[in-house]
Amino acid sequence: MKKVTHINLGGQPFTIDDDAYEALSQYMEAIHRQFRKSEGYEEITHDIEVRMAELFLQRMGGRVIIDRNDVDVIVGIMGRPSEFSEESVPESETYFEEPQEEPHTEGGNQWGSGIKTGKRLYRDTESKVVAGVCSGLSAYFGIQDPVWLRLAFAIGVISGGFGVVLYIILWAIIPAAKTAADRLAMRGEPIDIHSIAKDIEEGVQTFSEKFNNTFDKKNKGKWKKKWHEKQNKFNHKWDQHKEEWERRYGSSEPQSRRDDDRVLWADKSSRGYNDSAFLYHQPDVLQAVIPQAMDWALLGRFALIAFFFCLSMLTLIKIGQWWAGIPTNSQEWEALSAALQWNW
Amino acid sequence: MLPLNQDNAKQQMRKGVLELCILAIIAQEEVYPSDILQRLKDAELIVVEGTLYPLLTRLKNAGLVEYTWRESASGPPRKYFKITESGAALLGELRQGWQQLVVSVSKITDHIPV
């Protein structure tokens, strides 16, 4: 059983599976990205949409609902956006096969033109113990098993509590990997439709694995409740992911979509981000998320850090005083000054 | 030494003559994009359909082709393309250029035993 969505593609109504819709909208997004700066942007993208609608109509025959396979076939006919832009084969870049120096950053770059990924540091909230800091760091530094970092943090916690402070600081400053694109950037994988689909599938898999593992244990009632909670959480996350797409690309009117892009671009250039290598590597999806990072939860975490920071500083000062033999209260001060015969 | 990508080299060649071929197809009769695609595919000149649209828009913006909207029996109205005067002139020159290129290239490559 699957949910379906109704779409308007090139002026034709279609009914489409949700996963097929996801794939199709990401493909359209890649096309828009490819031609955004071309002359005749709207005309080209509209013509492509019309053609795709025509191909879908031909392919569907009597069938009613477009599925993922249909989308793959039609996309195969249309081709990757990077293949069909006329300017897309500058000699220096693709005429020769480039030597593969960094497979992580150059990656497959399969559909989009500008979708290059550098690795980014995120918290991996899907394989987390506390907040996913360790698993995120492991992914970033290419450590296979986050358990080693967790062990290091655990030692840091036991020996003096410094690990707690460090962990909370990292928790606050490292953003959580919210979308599939984030998660791919976290692992340094190329962001394209296949890898996104893979990531989502994996997410569902590890999730059900987790569930099965825990469910095997005897006390089913307890886990049942937890399962429902998790399920709701997962659904909520999924909806968020979809809303983000729909908010930015779901409107069927190309004009407004373009305006949206313009705002995004203007936004970027006004902050002087355009030249920075850091954001050059970020797909727009990520950029849309970055400005929203400052929310109440974050503020709360900052407050928490400030509190723990003060607490640990006070403790450190006390320890320092004790260690250096500096008196900590007035009686001790008097005793000390008497012993040293200080004249106040 | 960078290895030459064979597929890419072929693709480059195809892209080079694509403009000429599209102009030639449009010059023969009024067509809409899907017709052009069909003919290009029959001739194995085009691999992915998306290639056509940016090219077509560029030809139109350069005033080499123009289109009119026509109702279709099935689906939304279609753009029918036809060649303009300057387009026809360019087509003539491109054809000449192509003939010359064929002669020049074969002068060199014909002597190489395959």
To the nearest whole Å, the CA of B86 is away from the closest chain A CA by 20
> What is the per-residue pLDDT for A105?
35
- A296-324 vs A162-173: helix crossing angle, rounded to 10: 160
> What is the per-residue pLDDT for A276?
38
Residue A198: which of A26, A16, A76 has the closest Cα?
A26
B53 touches chain A (CB under 8 A): yes
Mutation target for A interface from B20, B57, B66, B72: give the one with most A CBs within 10 A.
B57
> What is the per-residue pLDDT for B94?
92
> What is the per-residue pLDDT for B28?
92
pLDDT digits over B27-75, tens only? 999 998 988 999 998 888 887 888 888 888 889 989 999 998 888 877 7
Contact across the interface for B2 and A12, Cβ inside 8 Å: no
pLDDT digits over A130-167, tens only? 888 888 888 887 777 888 888 888 877 777 667 777 88
To the nearest whole Å, the CA of B55 is away from the closest chain A CA by 7
- Low-confidence residues of chain A, pLDDT below 70? 84-118, 160-161, 190-227, 230-231, 234, 237-238, 241-299, 342-344
As a whole number of angstroms, the distance between CA A204 and CA A207 comes to: 5
Q: Determine how many CB atoms are found less than 10 A away from the CB of residue A137.
A: 21
Looking at chain A, which residue has its C-alpha nearest residue B55? A86
> What is the per-residue pLDDT for B64?
92
> What is the per-residue pLDDT for A31?
85
As a whole number of angstroms, the distance between CA A155 and CA A263 comes to: 48
Contact across the interface for A84 and B54, Cβ inside 8 Å: yes
To the nearest whole Å, the CA of A201 is away from the closest chain B CA by 28
Would you say A156 and A145 are in contact if contact means Cβ atoms under 8 Å apart? no
For residue B75, the 8-state DSSP code is S
To the nearest whole Å, the CA of A54 is away from the closest chain B CA by 8
pLDDT digits over A99-120, tens only? 333 333 333 334 443 444 467 7
> What is the per-residue pLDDT for A201?
63
| Sole residue written with tokens 């249309």 | A78
What spatial distance separates the first Cα and last Cα of chain A, rounded to whole Å? 86
pLDDT digits over B69-98, tens only? 888 877 778 889 999 999 999 999 999 999
Kindly state the helix (H) or strand (E) to which residue A280 belongs, with its residue range: helix A277-280
Residue A165: which of A265, A307, A268, A6 has the closest Cα?
A307
> What is the per-residue pLDDT for B72?
80
Is the ipTM beyond the 0.90 threshold?
no
As a whole number of angstroms, the distance between CA B33 and CA B26 comes to: 10
Mutation target for B interface from A54, A59, A89, A93: give the one with most B CBs within 10 A.
A54
Residue B45: which of B16, B7, B14, B88 has the closest Cα?
B14
